[in-house]
Homo-oligomer: A and B are copies of this chain.
């Protein structure tokens, strides 16, 4: 920076000013400085900058599974909001590894980022507490925090289950099943409540069973589908609420394509995520859409609010509503 100052024939402070407070510098001087910067290929050292200023214009986002389009949508939304606020969004992917997640939280903590966004798969109270004890702001996405520990943005997962089941009931299905696994995963339990609520609301004419799919992948879906296909016709559910889209696609494949059990004719299927793949499956999947993008935006907004209000900030939880997307696997 000294070199730039010399080259432009000004003092070091002036160079700093054209970089950080352009209004304080006369246009011609500023221009001269900018030219010198360009000519010398000067790049301001951000480490020194944030050390001296104590501020930092990036926010870190830690994502449990970049493979999942919900998380990608959240990243998009957060990025939009960050850019609008003049901040850079840095991403880190943990592939559902809590050790890696902790490492990345620490990386961003050490980097003294302006704030952090965390979209985990499991309970991350420990990491959140650690960040907060260091005074670092963090907002949680898609996971309920311990009450009062941080801001969060959630989707109304109970309503996800409700919408899915309700759609099946409204279209005449009476023998429902909730296909599910990973009860340790928060949304899974919440969606169950919604499914049950819809079934109870419908009265005795509608029954509900629960099918354990063990896992959430397409392969697990194949297993469930095969199992279902082996049942006596009378024992077959006529409507499936499937907790994850991939799982649903697997089931449909086995049922419809392999075993010839018509979807949606004999069995209607509703997914609970509306992943990117939902629409292009063998039988396009009716699914409840999770508003990832809006979640990312809201999280960023909450974070900036927290950063701005300092001491007198109160944690908030924003709950966004899901929306049913009707496709062929469970038509209108």
Q: Taking beta carbons and an 8 Å cutoff, which residues of A are in contact with B?
A: 41, 43-51, 56, 58, 66-67, 69, 72, 75-76, 79, 83, 88-93, 95, 100, 103-104, 106-107, 109-112, 130, 133-134, 218, 246, 249, 253, 276-277, 279-283
Do A45 and B281 form a contact, CB below 8 Å, given A90-B91, A93-B75? no
**Residues on the B chain within 8 Å of A76, using CB:** 93, 95
Name the CB-closest residue of B to A277: B277
Picked from B79, B109, B246, B283, the residue with its CB within 8 Å of the CB of A43 is B109
A104 to B90, CA, bound (A): 9
Secondary structure at chain A's binding surface: helix, strand, loop or mixed?
helix
A288 to B247, CA, bound (A): 25
Name the CB-closest residue of B to A107: B88
Contact B67 A72 (CB under 8 A): yes
A100 to B257, CA, bound (A): 44
**Residues on the B chain within 8 Å of A51, using CB:** 45, 47-48, 51
Contact B104 A88 (CB under 8 A): yes
Contact B103 A88 (CB under 8 A): yes
Do A112 and B46 form a contact, CB below 8 Å, given A58-B107, A75-B93, A93-B75? yes
User: In the complex, how many angstroms separate the beta carbon of A79 from the nearest chain B beta carbon?
Assistant: 7
**Residues on the B chain within 8 Å of A56, using CB:** 47
**Residues on the B chain within 8 Å of A109, using CB:** 43
Contact B111 A46 (CB under 8 A): yes
Contact A91 B88 (CB under 8 A): no
A103 to B104, CA, bound (A): 22
User: In the complex, how many angstroms separate the beta carbon of A260 from the nearest chain B beta carbon?
Assistant: 16
What are 23 residue pairs bridging A and B, where the CB atoms are less than 8 Å apart in the complex? A41-B134, A43-B110, A44-B110, A45-B110, A46-B112, A47-B50, A47-B56, A49-B110, A51-B51, A66-B72, A67-B72, A67-B276, A79-B93, A88-B92, A88-B103, A89-B92, A90-B90, A90-B91, A90-B92, A91-B93, A280-B280, A280-B281, A281-B281
Name the CB-closest residue of B to A60: B90
Name the CB-closest residue of B to A136: B43
Picked from B89, B112, B133, B253, the residue with its CB within 8 Å of the CB of A45 is B112
A95 to B77, CA, bound (A): 12
